[in-house]
């Protein structure tokens, strides 16, 4: 998102998670592409970096700049109102997050895009309520802690930074709750629609072998970080030349070995500067062709640019590059156990957390073993094996589980972790570097294919939900 690094993979990627045969439930897919319509989605508002001056706290029915918003109903979604305030707040958030690209869109068009996004979300939230999806406070707590951890700060510091942007803690947590609810609904409704056959996997792997240079943009996964030096739309040639010299200097410093993340924080005009400018792992065809072409002959860790886009000059660093299913890929594997307690009418999330906290104390006190407690209590298929999930590769588990697992040292036991399956206690037994086996290559290829199909399935499903909703438009939204 904007300044605060709020990865969608941490909050709503479970919605696109691919179900698999692994005993650890919840194999995930990669994050969807992010465009202007994605910016219009609900989500935690951005937070200014430490060096930014605190913004004034907006009063009710005002924009962050202090302008008063006329309040009236602009639409009804199955009798639930959408207000002009909701639309304008969404537009303001999109403007803060989207920068120049969004600011160039005519305001009536932005209003319309925001309204349609809110209508879609309300229709989905209503369906979530109908099917009984609930998100409790502990799940929101965990999401908030995850955002703070990603940004290397405490929850208290996160809230203080949000307050400086005029974002109330309750409103922020409600945004988190909305995202988690929508994720749970999508995973329930979209996931079963996507099936990948063995023939499709065979064809995918065959295409990779037969056209290694095509690493087809679709099959090559990369992660890029960038420094953006913004060029104003009507900048005179002298100003453009000055900004290009600035970008050239940044590129030279990066090639000279200076820490790229530090350069980003000090020099970038992009809203993602707080997380080192990293744009995230995704297939190359979901990156701007300008970036991919500039980096095509660059080794991992290398610098390219500056290159010129409509936004300005970019200095690029290739953080990673891999081809899913590639035999030579070496990954860090974890040997992990877990205990899963499901949440239902007989056990709340809080009760499951309390029970697992007790298990952790017994394990650390030496009065019980992890494997023994797993065999006696875990509600997962791995219980018979003492909770042993075997060796896992990156991306096998849902983000909440994997994030907690990756922070554990061998033999360490996690605190209780809430996921869409229930509440887990996790123990890492060992780690190793290993090449993907043939079966793992096929699983990785299947995940890539599922990801592509999942995006299509989600769009189709979202249109269906929107089509079933009764929508009555009232007055057009106005700023």
Distance, CA of 112 to CA of 138 (rounded, Å): 35
Q: What is the pLDDT of residue 125?
A: 94
Burial class (CB in 10 A: 0-12, 13-18, 19+), 463: exposed
CATH architecture label of 330-435: Roll (3.10)
Please identify, in words, the CATH class of the domain defined by 8-193. Answer: mainly alpha
pTM: 0.59
Matching fold, domains 220-322 and 330-435: yes
Crossing angle for the helix pair 107-130 and 84-103, nearest 10 degrees?
130
Distance, CA of 331 to CA of 433 (rounded, Å): 6
Considering the chain, what percentage of its residues have pLDDT values greater than 70? 78
Distance, CA of 377 to CA of 383 (rounded, Å): 8
pLDDT higher than threshold 70 for residue 14 = no
CA distance readout (Å), 281 to 156, 270, 417: 29, 18, 24
pLDDT band at 152 (very low <50, low <70, confident <90, very high): low
CATH topology of domain 220-322: Chitinase A; domain 3 (3.10.50)
Q: What is the pLDDT of residue 336?
A: 94
Average pLDDT value for the chain = 77
> Among residues 382, 375, 377, 412, which one has the least CA distance to residue 397?
382
pLDDT higher than threshold 90 for residue 231 = no
Beta bridge partner(s), residue 369: none
**Is 141 or 296 the better-scoring residue by pLDDT?**
141
pLDDT band at 246 (very low <50, low <70, confident <90, very high): very high
> Where exactly are the structural domains of the chain?
8-193, 220-322, 330-435
């Amino acid at each position: 998102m904007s300044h605060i690094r709020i990865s969608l993979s941490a909050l709503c990627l479970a919605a696109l998670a691919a179900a698999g045969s692994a005993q650890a439930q919840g194999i995930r897919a990669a994050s969807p592409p992010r465009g202007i319509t994605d910016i219009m989605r609900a989500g935690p508002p951005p937070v200014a970096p430490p060096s930014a001056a605190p913004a004034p706290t907006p009063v009710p029915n005002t924009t962050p700049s202090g302008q008063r918003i006329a309040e009236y109903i602009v639409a009804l979604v199955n009798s639930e109102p959408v207000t002009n305030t909701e639309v304008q707040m969404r537009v303001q958030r999109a403007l803060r997050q989207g920068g120049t690209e969004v600011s160039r869109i005519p305001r009536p068009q932005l209003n319309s895009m925001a309204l349609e996004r809110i209508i879609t979300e309300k229709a989905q939230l209503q369906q979530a309520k109908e099917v009984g999806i609930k998100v409790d406070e502990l799940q929101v707590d965990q999401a908030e802690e995850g955002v703070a951890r990603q940004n290397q700060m405490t929850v208290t510091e996160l809230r203080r930074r949000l307050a400086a942007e005029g974002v109330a803690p309750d409103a922020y947590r409600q945004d988190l709750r909305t995202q988690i609810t929508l994720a749970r609904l999508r995973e329930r409704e979209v996931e079963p629609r996507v099936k990948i056959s063995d023939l499709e996997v065979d064809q995918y792997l065959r295409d990779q072998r037969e056209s290694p240079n095509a690493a087809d943009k679709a099959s090559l996964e990369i992660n890029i970080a960038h420094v953006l030096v913004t060029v104003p739309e009507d900048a005179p040639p002298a100003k453009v030349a000055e900004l290009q010299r600035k970008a050239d200097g940044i590129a030279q410093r990066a090639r000279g070995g200076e820490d790229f993340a530090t350069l980003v924080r000090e020099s970038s005009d992009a809203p993602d500067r707080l997380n080192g400018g990293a744009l995230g792992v995704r297939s190359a065809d979901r990156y701007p062709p300008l970036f991919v072409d500039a980096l095509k002959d660059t080794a991992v860790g290398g610098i390219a640019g500056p290159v010129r886009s409509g936004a300005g000059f970019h200095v690029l660093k290739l953080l990673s590059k891999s081809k899913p299913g590639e035999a030579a890929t070496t990954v860090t594997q974890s040997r992990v156990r877990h205990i899963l307690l499901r949440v239902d009418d007989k056990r709340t999330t809080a009760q499951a957390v309390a029970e697992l906290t007790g298990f952790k104390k017994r394990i650390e006190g030496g009065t019980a073993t992890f494997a023994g407690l797993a065999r006696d209590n875990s509600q997962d298929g791995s219980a018979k094996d003492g909770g042993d999930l075997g060796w896992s590769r990156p991306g096998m588990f849902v983000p909440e589980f994997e994030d907690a697992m990756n922070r554990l040292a061998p033999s360490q036991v996690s605190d209780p972790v809430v996921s869409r399956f229930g509440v887990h206690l996790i123990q890492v037994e060992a780690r190793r570097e290993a090449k993907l086996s043939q079966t793992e290559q096929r699983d990785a290829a299947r995940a890539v294919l599922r990801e592509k199909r999942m995006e299509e399935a989600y769009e189709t499903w979202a249109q269906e939900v929107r089509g079933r909703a009764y929508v009555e438009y009232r007055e057009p939204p106005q700023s």
